[in-house]
Amino acid sequence: MIHTIITIAALLLVPLAAAHAADFHVAASGNDANPGTKAAPLRTIQRGADLAQPGDVITVHKGVYRESISPPRGGESDTKRIVYQAAPGEKVEIKGSEVAKNWVKVQNDVWKVTLPNSFFGSFNPYGDLIHGDWFSARGRQHHTGAVYLNGDWLAEAAKLDDVMKPAGAAPLWFGQVDKDNTTIWAQFKGVNPNEQLVEINARRTVFYPKKPGMNYITVRGFIMRHAATPWAPPPAEQLGLIGPHWSKGWIIENNVISHSRCSGITLGKYGDEWDNKSQSAKAYNLTIERALKNGWNKETIGHHIVRNNTIYNCEQTGICGSLGAVFSQIIDNHIYNIWTQRLFSGAELGGIKIHASIDMLIKNNRIHNAGRGLWMDWMAQGTRITGNLCYDNSTDDLFVEVNHGPFLVDNNIFLSGLSVRDWSQGGAFVHNLMAGTIDSRPQGRATPYHKAHSTAVAGLSNIKGGDHRFYNNIFIGQPGKAPGFGLSMYDAREFPLQTGGNVYYNGARPYAKEADPLTLPDVDPKPEIVEKDGHVYLHLTLGQAPQKAATKLVTTERLGSAKIPGLGYENPDGSPVRIDVDYFGAKRSEAKPSAGPFEVPAADRLTLKVR
């Protein structure tokens, strides 16, 4: 009888718990004094954030919302999140900008507007300089402000005189802040800005908690633009247009993220008194020590999912993260037009730039026109980089810097002039297509390696170079161009390579100790990327070589252990790896897989829909 009563009571609690979850609605026609029902919606997303409790959903309806959302709390678990979502099928824009009106013509295409400093509240991006560790201002000042004409941003001028000159291909703006007012001059070629949409940055972030530890939040379906973000170096708090701020378990999906002055999505660390005072390898090692004391571990940090986002027009990174991105997944994102104005520079630029990509999965991303495509800097251990498409990146497609492994790079298409900048050791490169060079260099910096599947530091070591596995890759050279196509640069590295099943076209050269390389010095596959109707096609001619190479299936057992950490190549849960599917997910031959990303390619010229 007692058991029956307890069971009935437990059943009665289920609907009560489910009823606690609320669905708050936000609409441009709403009012924050409303209860937030669909019939009586709120006006601001921030009000929804203030009301939401774990398990609740904030649904935002069509319109433009000019605000910076700071969630005051997160969810309790992966199944009891706080969800922020655009209403299905509705266009919802969240902007860190305000509309600027009342422009006065100065001369020709030059106009100016004067605003009271109170317009910006406590943060004025036109008096806020971009600066920080590893930042290069290139001899001038840069501000976190920006000016937009009908959605496109203008470039900041170095001085007012530059704005007064005839407008060039990239129109300019310049700002000055005194004790009372902010004045902005801008070139509007052939248009009256008072008859157009002109916006100016007014907020540092669009969706970013002021406090760390806001766990289990989902943000989906929004268009998010116009953030006056600061430079985001690895030893400092990394503020992005959107980011979880040293939290756990966020999902950022199906968004369009653009026009961040520095970074789009940040998965970075907390801030402290050492921010922008740590520009050295030794200082960053101290940053890591402090982070471990401040809860940097598998139980409390990371585990984010960033997927299906379109990210563009960010002048530092599309996605970056220092320490806070551990155990996360970055998958199926389109990242492009990063660092395109190129008015400033620094050592923290790229489509995806991660410090400490421990047990991360970086998969199926399309990255182009990003300067550098992927940059795994320090502590890439247990990282898998698979199925990514990188092209038209002017710096390189993949930079692996001062890592000891094990990390796995498989089934990628690297088509830029420099495929891999390798300042690491202990990697496994399997079934990739590389049409650019490889740059291999030892490094004297002592950098950490970790215990298996953990943030705990096991030791420090410098980079002697080598200790890589290169299996079943395709390398395409360019006769008469700079050396570095293929693997011959590793002949001089202290640690030997493990190689096999590689194909070398058009002058690419094998590793000196490689057994049975397939070398085709006079065959040029002529890879070509074509973007058409929203898709990406790869044209190339490989012939029969990928099927004739001396390939074998690549597994955890075959890859062995990375020399310095002494750890094997395995999945984050400790299960073994088998590279038994290709770039498209097609099953590979167990006995003799095709070299390169594509299983059993045709001998004739291929046209492959790669995105």
| pLDDT score of 20 | 60
Token pair in block for residue 19: 């009823």
Q: So what's the architecture of 97-201 in CATH?
A: Sandwich (2.60)
| pLDDT score of 85 | 98
Q: Name residues whose C-beta falls within 8 Å of residue 255's C-beta, 6 or more positions apart in sequence.
A: 219, 220, 221, 222, 223, 224, 242, 309, 310
- pLDDT band at residue 17 under the 50/70/90 scheme: very low
- pLDDT band at residue 8 under the 50/70/90 scheme: very low
DSSP three-state, residue 489: helix
Count CB-CB contacts under 10 A for residue 609: 10
Spell 24-49 as b/e; 16+ CB within 10 A means b. bbbbeebeeebebeeeebbbbbbbbb
Query: By C-alpha distance, which of 33, 28, 133 is closest to 86?
Result: 28
State the chain's mean pLDDT as an integer.
Answer: 95
pLDDT tens string 488-505: 999 999 999 999 999 999
User: Cα 587–409–375 angle (5° rounding)?
Assistant: 140
DSSP three-state, residue 539: strand
| pLDDT score of 482 | 75
The stretch 471-491 carries a mean pLDDT of 93
pLDDT tens string 260-291: 999 999 999 999 999 998 899 999 999 999 99
Q: Where are the domains of the chain?
A: 97-201
- pLDDT band at residue 358 under the 50/70/90 scheme: very high
pLDDT tens string 60-87: 999 999 999 999 999 999 999 999 999 9
Distance CA 60, CA 579 (A): 42
| pLDDT score of 3 | 43
DSSP three-state, residue 607: strand
147 φ, ψ to 5°?
A: -125, 135
User: What percentage of the chain exceeds 90 in pLDDT?
Assistant: 95
Distance CA 568, CA 576 (A): 9
Query: By C-alpha distance, which of 338, 346, 353, 354 is closest to 130?
Result: 346
